[in-house]
Amino acid sequence: MDFFDCISLAKAQALIEGTLADIVVSIEEVELLQALGRIAAEDIAADGDLPPFNRSTVDGYAVLSRDTFGAGEGIPAMLTIVGEILMGQAAETDILSGQAVAIPTGGMLPAGADAVVMLEHIEPSGNETLLVLKPVAPGENVVSKGEDIKTGAVFITAGTKLTSAEIGALAACGTSRVKMRRRLTVGIVSTGDEVVDIGATPAAGQVRDINSYALAAILTEAGCQVSCYGIVKDNYAELLQIIDKAVAENHLVLVSGGSSVGVRDHTVRVIEELGQQKVIFHGLAIRPGKPTILGMVGEVPVFGLPGHPVAAMTVCQTVVLAAVKKMQGGKPLRVGCQVSAKLTRSCASAPGRDDFLRVRLIWHEGEYLAEPVLGKSGLISVLTQADGIVQIPAEASGLYAGDVVSVEVMREA
C-alpha cells in the first residue's frame, strides 16, 4: 500500500464525523459525584434563584445605603442597631431608615436593607449606636437573590464534560441526580500469530501483547469502559467469531494487528462480511499509522489498527479518540492542553501525509523547547521519554529547528 492509496487525515476525520453523525450513546441518570468527567446529556437549568436570598459578602451591618450617603471620618452617619442576623436564619424584622442590623458573611439581608457596611468602616458608639465612616452604594457587599444564577437559566449546556466546577454549580443548585451520557463501551481484540500474553515468556520470534494494555489505558483515560477479548491467531473463522461477539457487546471495537495489506489480513474481510461491505476507509496518509482501517458493523465502528504498538497508540490518540468524543456526545473542546514550544532540531516529513512526532518538553529560559525523541521506527522507549506529540501537517515538508510548534501534552498534573 502506497501513501497514494491512502486518504488524508482531514478526509478521514470528515468521514468519521459524517458516518457517526447520529450515533451517540444513550442517556442515564446518575448521582451527582458519579457524573464527574462525564458528558451532560442535556442542558441543565437552575430550578431556583442562586443565591435564594439577598446575601452579605462581608461581616458588618446591614443598612439602607441612602442613610450613609455623605458619611465620612469627620461626619459619620449615626444609626441605631436594632438586632443581629444569625447564620442560617431568616431576618426577623425589616429595617427602617436610621436602623442597622449586625450581619455575618453569608447572612441573609433583612427586608429594607440594600447594602452592608464592613466592620472596618464603622465605629461603635454605645450599645445600640453605630457610626458609619464611609458611604456604601446600593447593593454594595451584597449578592442579590438570583444575581449569581437565575431560576430557569441554563448553567450547563448539553455536551459539557463535567469538572469539579460543574459539580460545585450543580450542588449549589440542589441537583443531586443528573442526566449524563452513558460511558462508551469499547472492545479490544489483539491479533497475530507472534503475539503472546504479557504474563507468558515469549519464545524466540514472539512478542508480548502490548496493544491490549496500551489501548485499554488510552481509552480508560478518555472515560470509556474497556473489555479485552484476548489474542486471536491469524485465523479468519476465529477472528470473525470474536469480532462478532465484541460488536454485539460494545459501542466501539478496536482490532490491532492484522491491518497491513498482506497474506494474513483478515480484518477487512471480517468487516465486509459482518458489516455488509461497510469499509469506510483503509489506509491513512499518516505516520506512524498508515495501515488503519475503519468499517461499520451496523452502528458499531470497528477500527483496524497497526500491530506495532507505537503506531497503534498514535492512531488511537489521534483518530480513534475523535470517534470516541463524537459518540460520547461531547461538544468540541474550546481549550486543549497544548503548549507552544520551540523545536530543537529540524525534522523532515514527506509532503502528503501528516506526521506525528513525539517530543520531550524542556523548560529553558522562560519558554518550552520541544526535543524530538529520536530512535528507530517505533521504539517503545520513545513512549516513556516523550511528553507530547507534534503534528506535522500534510502540506508541510518538515519543520525547522527554531520553529514554534504546538505540542499536545500527553502527561499532565
Of residues 65 through 94, those in contact with a copy of itself by CB under 8 A are 85-91
Query: Measuring CA to CA, how many Å separate 178 from each of 41, 145, 279, 396?
Result: 9, 24, 37, 46
Number of residues that bind a copy of itself (CB under 8 A): 105
Q: Is 70 exposed, middle or buried (CB count within 10 Å of its CB: 0-12, 13-18, 19+)?
A: exposed
Regarding 305 and contact with a copy of itself (CB under 8 A), the answer is no
What is the C-alpha separation between 350 and 394, in angstroms, rounded?
8
Span of 6-14, 19-27, 142-150, 236-244 interacting with a copy of itself by CB under 8 A: 142-150
Contacts of 251 (CB under 8 A, 6+ apart): 25, 184, 185, 186, 300, 327
Binding mask 313-342 for a copy of itself (x = CB under 8 A): x-------x-----------xxxxxxxx--
Binding mask 117-136 for a copy of itself (x = CB under 8 A): --------------------
SS3 115: strand
Q: How far is the CB of 289 from a copy of itself (least distance, A)?
A: 14
What is the C-alpha separation between 196 and 218, in angstroms, rounded?
21
What is the C-alpha separation between 405 and 390, in angstroms, rounded?
7
Regarding 3 and contact with a copy of itself (CB under 8 A), the answer is no
Which residue has cell 529540524? 346
Regarding 212 and contact with a copy of itself (CB under 8 A), the answer is yes
Of the candidate residues 30, 42, 104, 236, the single one contacting a copy of itself (CB under 8 A): 104
Regarding 33 and contact with a copy of itself (CB under 8 A), the answer is yes
Of the candidate residues 21, 22, 26, 164, the single one contacting a copy of itself (CB under 8 A): 164
Of the candidate residues 205, 277, 365, 400, the single one contacting a copy of itself (CB under 8 A): 205
Cell of 87: 447564620
Is the separation of the CB atoms in 192 and 210 below 8 Å? no
Of the candidate residues 42, 193, 244, 273, the single one contacting a copy of itself (CB under 8 A): 193
What is the C-alpha separation between 339 and 411, in angstroms, rounded?
12
Regarding 401 and contact with a copy of itself (CB under 8 A), the answer is no
Of the candidate residues 388, 390, 399, 405, the single one contacting a copy of itself (CB under 8 A): 388
Q: How far is the CB of 147 from a copy of itself (least distance, A)?
A: 7
